[in-house]
Amino acid sequence: MKNDENTKTEASLKEIGGAANQVMIEAVICSLASRYGVKSAAYLGAGISGMPASEPFLAVTYSADWVEHYKEHRYVRIDPVVSIGLRRLLPFDWTEFGEPEGVLKTFFGEASEFGLGRRGLTIPVHGRGGDRALFTITTDLSERDWKREKLHYMRDFQLLAVHIHDKVLELEGAPVSRAKLSPRELECLLWVSDGKTAWECSVILGLSEHTVRCYLESARYKLNASSNTHAVSIAHRSGLFFPIL
């Protein structure tokens, strides 16, 4: 099971890293939806340097008919995923909206008719340059299965959403700083520099081995490193370990 999870994450990160244009980003989003077995997936980027404010970066698996219907009815004015998501910092389950009424009931009903799942999870991403993004997945899982799978989705897609957003910034010519690691990424690299394996790091930090591997993968990506050893070397040269030593 852990090997399957690792493979999914690593394959997804590799695809994101290899995307060279918007068409390839859209293909990556489709691939993620298929790989993780969700009904739909969508990326919305706003405030990205060099892009008109009225033209957000959009890459979705939704049908063209739904996208057109959404625009025609100007649903962005009432869509709680967008209005709430762009203000939030943490991921949120669509159940937080409560039972939809009035125009929202119509909105979600039509979304379901156009093939979007009944349950949704949205992950906000806030960049240091004022850029923002939302990564959303939907599914038709039962309530019981959703409660279980949502934890896995949240774990992996928080990592993938950040990498997708960084890739979009890169494609649009916006500055992307990859030399700043999170405290967890630094901790994992520090223990690796001490000779610990991913499993040993997981025991020390109280995390799953899969989560540790994700942090290490993210650190390698940010540092443009080819291996954990390479990442440790770059971190040492850059003085990244000093704050937590």
Q: Collapsing DSSP states into helix, strand and coil, what is residue 82? A: helix
DSSP-H helix ranges across 42-142: 64-72, 80-85, 102-113
Domains and CATH numbers, the chain: 2-171 (3.30.450.80), 183-244 (1.10.10.10)
DSSP assignment letter at 136: E
Task: Give Cα separations from 211 to 89, 121, 127, 207, 216 (angstroms).
Answer: 21, 19, 23, 6, 9
Q: Residues of 113-128 as b/e, b for ≥16 C-beta within 10 angstroms?
A: eeebbebbbbbbbebe
Whether the CB-CB separation of 167 and 208 falls below 8 Å is answered with no
The number of beta carbons lying within 10 Å of the beta carbon of residue 221 is 21
Token pair in block for residue 124: 């906000």
Bridge-partner residues for 119, per DSSP?
139
d(CA 7, CA 55): 35
DSSP assignment letter at 105: H
Global pTM reads 0.74
Q: What is the pLDDT of residue 180?
A: 79
Task: Give Cα separations from 146 to 131, 149, 154, 219 (angstroms).
Answer: 30, 5, 11, 30
Q: What is the pLDDT of residue 4?
A: 61
3-state SS string over 6-24? HHHHHHHHHHHHHCCCHHH
Listed as ranges, residues in the chain with pLDDT below 70 are 1-6, 49-54, 128, 175-179, 237-238, 242-245
Token pair in block for residue 136: 């959303």
pLDDT tens for each residue of 193-206: 888 999 999 999 99
DSSP assignment letter at 117: -
Q: Residues of 179-214 as b/e, b for ≥16 C-beta within 10 angstroms?
A: eebeebbbbbbbbbbeebebeebbeebebebbbbbb
d(CA 161, CA 136): 9
DSSP-H helix ranges across the chain: 2-18, 22-36, 64-72, 80-85, 102-113, 143-171, 183-193, 198-205, 209-223, 228-238
Q: What is the pLDDT of residue 236?
A: 73
